[in-house]
Amino acid sequence: MSHDHTPPKIRFPHFLEKFPEVEMPVTLGENTHLEFSKVNDPLPDLMVEQFIMAWEDTLRDEFTEYIACFQIAKVKEFHAVVYWRAGLMDYRYILMTYTKQGEYIDHKVIAGTYSDGEKVTLSVATIEEDWTINVASGQNEGEDADYDAEGSTVFSMELMPDGTIEHVI
């Protein structure tokens, strides 16, 4: 009798259930994750391994937590979910898209707060009803420096009908 120690596969619909459908527009700011973490538990490790880590470009450590935020409502051709990745001095909202069958299409960091050791970057995103994602990003130096709106940059991304996420010029 052989013992198979591979972890059980999680079905994609079970993963999607963690992401409540939300009508747009939605704004993701510095503390929005607190609202989500009140209602959504951190994603189980197996789900993170299977549906997120395969595509993420960062290594996971024991300090990193993944919290399901929401699924964009009224998306017909694919699934679009937003999750919050919390690490040490690195908090990001990530939009990830999948086919109806659960195959990866694309992902982009759309908002968050992170530090390179010297500067703190804060990005706030609003996902509009037409799937345009408007991002305002600014930096400050040091612990108590005020956020400088003058130095902020604004750009847009768009969630395309095929599920890819494009920067808009």
Give the count of beta carbons closer than 10 Å to the beta carbon of residue 166.
14
CA distances from 152 to 111, 124, 166 (A): 13, 11, 21
Query: How is 76-87 classified by DSSP, letter by letter?
Result: -SEEEEEEEEEE
Q: Over range 88-110, report the average pLDDT.
A: 95
Q: pLDDT tens, 14-37? A: 999 999 999 999 999 888 878 888
Question: Beta strands of the chain (E only): which ranges?
Answer: 21-22, 26-28, 65-72, 78-87, 90-99, 104-115, 119-127, 132-141, 153-159, 165-168
Whole-prediction pTM value? 0.87
State both tokens at 64. 């990193």
Q: pLDDT tens, 42-85? A: 899 899 989 998 887 666 777 889 999 999 999 999 999 999 99
